Amino acid sequence: MRKTIFWAVLIGMGLLLYGCSHVVATVNGESITKKQLDRALEQAGGKQMLQNLITEKMIKEYAAAHHVQVSDQEVEKEVSKVKKTLGPLNLQTLTPNRLKNLKKSIKLNLLLQKDIMATIPKSKVRAFYEANKSSLPEAELSAIVVADPKQAQAILSDLKKGKPFATEASQFSLDPVGRENGGYLGYVSEGDLMKMSPAIAKAVFSLKSGEVSSPIKTPKGYYILKALNFKNHFVQLKSEIETLMAHDRVKTFLLKLRTEYKVVYKGSYAVK
């Protein structure tokens, strides 16, 4: 029995020493140990990563206790929205591991949003809309940005002759994100368009779905915009408003969870 314990202790010590002295790389013969690597990783963000894991655990436990569920279909729907905003080059960097992390992050956000949205009175959603409706309308847009007014007119002429907007954007637009997506910008609020340029906001909301604007002069170049769709009314914007209001409440909600859940730090992370 004692011999067994003796060997168990020796093996345990060996594993511990191996973990401390195991060499992960050398530079001109000088070793970098796993212990040094672990310490550097911890200093680079280990404590923050621990906080992220604690937050993830709290959200999952809260959701389970309150029967809040998010389906795979709901996650996939949000993933599709994210993919739609990425260009071909960025899509290529979305490795299986990154996609897995994206889905996990989306699921946690949806778990939070679902519960918080359920606590937002409908009257407050309507009140938010009434107070901000001048900046809330959204337009689904594609854009081509060029530096030269003559080039802008030539592109507009080609569009009127039937050339695809996405082809012209991919070939000529100065905006790298839009160029990768065939000029597609997604939904942009009137408030954000006003920040870009009042002239752009005015032009966009004078268009009908499917129409293309004349070149619009801005400090960043000449914009040609195509309106794809609009969201103007409360019913169309209700979901976005609820999401926006939920985001504002998330920080307070997580702080509340911290006071309700017992978090105990161990080892080198213990509070001294």
Strands 23-27 and 138-146: unpaired
Q: Is residue 191 part of a domain?
A: yes
> Hey, which residues does 138 pair with through a beta bridge?
189, 231
CATH number at residue 154: 3.10.50.40
Task: Answer yes or no: do 118 and 59 share one domain.
Answer: yes
Lowest mean pLDDT among 5-9, 85-89, 116-120, 144-148: 5-9
Q: Check: CB of residue 253 under 8 Å from CB of residue 234.
A: no
Collapse the DSSP code of 68 into the 3-class scheme (helix H, G, I; strand E, B; otherwise coil) and give the result. Answer: coil
Q: Check: CB of residue 224 under 8 Å from CB of residue 203.
A: no
Q: Is the pLDDT score of 205 beyond 70?
A: yes
Q: Is residue 272 part of a domain?
A: no
Mean pLDDT of 106-134: 82
Q: Is residue 270 part of a domain?
A: no
CB atoms closer than 10 angstroms to residue 177: 16
pLDDT band at 28 (very low <50, low <70, confident <90, very high): low
Task: Answer yes or no: do 124 and 90 share one domain.
Answer: yes
Q: Is the pLDDT score of 67 beyond 60?
A: yes
Task: Answer yes or no: do 241 and 108 share one domain.
Answer: yes
Q: pLDDT for 207-253, tens place per residue?
A: 999 999 999 999 889 999 999 988 888 778 888 888 788 777 887 88
Distance between CA atoms of residues 41 and 175, nearest Å: 36
Q: Is residue 269 part of a domain?
A: no
- Which residues form the domain of 11? 2-44
Strands ordered across the beta sheet of 138-146 = 184-189, 138-146, 221-231, 216-218
Q: Which residues contact 31 (CB under 8 A, 6 or more apart)?
A: 23, 25
Mean pLDDT of the chain: 81
pTM for the structure as a whole: 0.54
Q: Is residue 252 part of a domain?
A: yes
Task: Answer yes or no: do 190 and 152 share one domain.
Answer: yes
Q: pLDDT for 30-57, tens place per residue?
A: 777 777 777 777 777 677 778 888 888 8
Q: Count up the domains in the chain and report the number.
A: 3
Task: Answer yes or no: do 143 and 225 share one domain.
Answer: yes
Picking from 50, 17, 36, the residue whose alpha carbon sits closest to that of residue 268 is 50
Task: Answer yes or no: do 198 and 161 share one domain.
Answer: yes
Distance between CA atoms of residues 40 and 44, nearest Å: 6
Per-residue confidence (pLDDT) for residue 236, from 0 to 100: 81
Q: Is 173 exposed, middle or buried (0-12, 13-18, 19+ CB in 10 A)?
A: buried
Q: pLDDT for 125-175, tens place per residue?
A: 888 888 887 778 889 999 999 999 999 999 999 999 999 999 999 999 998
Q: Is the pLDDT score of 5 beyond 50?
A: no
Integer angstrom CA distances of residue 262 from 54, 58, 258, 265: 11, 10, 8, 10
Per-residue DSSP letters for 82-108?
A: HHHHS-HHHHHT--HHHHHHHHHHHHH
Task: Answer yes or no: do 66 and 148 share one domain.
Answer: no
pLDDT band at 20 (very low <50, low <70, confident <90, very high): low
Distance between CA atoms of residues 24 and 217, nearest Å: 56
Q: Check: CB of residue 214 under 8 Å from CB of residue 158.
A: no
**What backbone torsions phi and psi does residue 268 show, to the nearest 5 degrees?**
-70, -10
Amino acid at 192: D
Task: Answer yes or no: do 115 and 167 share one domain.
Answer: no
Per-residue confidence (pLDDT) for residue 221, from 0 to 100: 92
Q: Is residue 60 part of a domain?
A: yes
**What backbone torsions phi and psi does residue 128 show, to the nearest 5 degrees?**
-65, -45
Picking from 133, 112, 122, the residue whose alpha carbon sits closest to that of residue 55 is 112
Per-residue confidence (pLDDT) for residue 106, from 0 to 100: 86
Share of the chain above pLDDT 70, in %: 84
Q: Is residue 198 part of a domain?
A: yes
Q: Is residue 133 part of a domain?
A: no
Task: Answer yes or no: do 204 and 84 share one domain.
Answer: no
Mean pLDDT of 99-106: 87
Task: Answer yes or no: do 209 and 241 share one domain.
Answer: no
Task: Answer yes or no: do 108 and 178 share one domain.
Answer: no
Task: Answer yes or no: do 101 and 73 share one domain.
Answer: yes
